[in-house]
Amino acid sequence: MILQEKEKVKKVKYKLKKGITWDTVKSKVSYAGFQVFDSLFEVETRNKYRNEKEEFEGIKFDSKMEMEFYIYLLKTHTKEEIELQPSFVLQEKFKDNTGKVQRESKYIADFRVGNIVYDVKGMTTQMFRAKEKTFKLKYPDLQLKVVKKAPKWTDKEWIELSELKEMIRERNKKKKLLQNKYFDKVEVENDYL
């Protein structure tokens, strides 16, 4: 009987992937004569990047880092100056050559203060880089800044991603030069031995 229960659960999991609701699964499993444990059917939903939603002063943020940047912005700007989740149309809706209507393409940033648009990212994806290029083309009067929490060695609280990449590139060059110098000396010393 225990083996049959495991087999049923496996079948249930397979059917669930096909689009059956949890309630349907529970009723079918209990109808088949098996005891239904609610803990068996709990689903853990996670964000794609494993961010946890945060709340600050009644405002919900998609991540802790986004909330921390909002608090950072509050040090220099008022709440009224900071626009949350500004939306920008990158491409208007249109009919393609088959007559099908294509939806408009939007970019939703994290914050906007004046003519500066902020997006808080730990890393950029290929999709974001494409939207970033289109945004810069369509809205040349706005400045898009992609920011992240700065590493301790930068002596900054927040840093633009492009600036951080450049700093890392320079840091790696210096490390490589130091390594090459050291190994060159070792090779010279070994030649004379």
CB atoms closer than 10 angstroms to residue 135: 19
Q: Could you report the per-residue pLDDT of 47-91, keeping only the tens digit for each?
A: 556 677 888 888 888 888 999 999 999 999 999 999 999 999 999
* Bridge partner residues of 146 (DSSP): 119
The residue count of the chain comes to 193
The whole-chain average pLDDT of the chain stands at 78
Residue 46: which pLDDT band, with cuts at 50, 70 and 90? low
Q: What is the mean pLDDT of residues 172-178?
A: 83
d(CA 109, CA 83): 10
Q: Could you report the per-residue pLDDT of 116-139, keeping only the tens digit for each?
A: 999 998 888 899 999 999 999 999
b/e burial code for range 175-185 (CB count within 10 A of at least 16 → b): eeeeeeeeeee
Residue 15: which pLDDT band, with cuts at 50, 70 and 90? very low
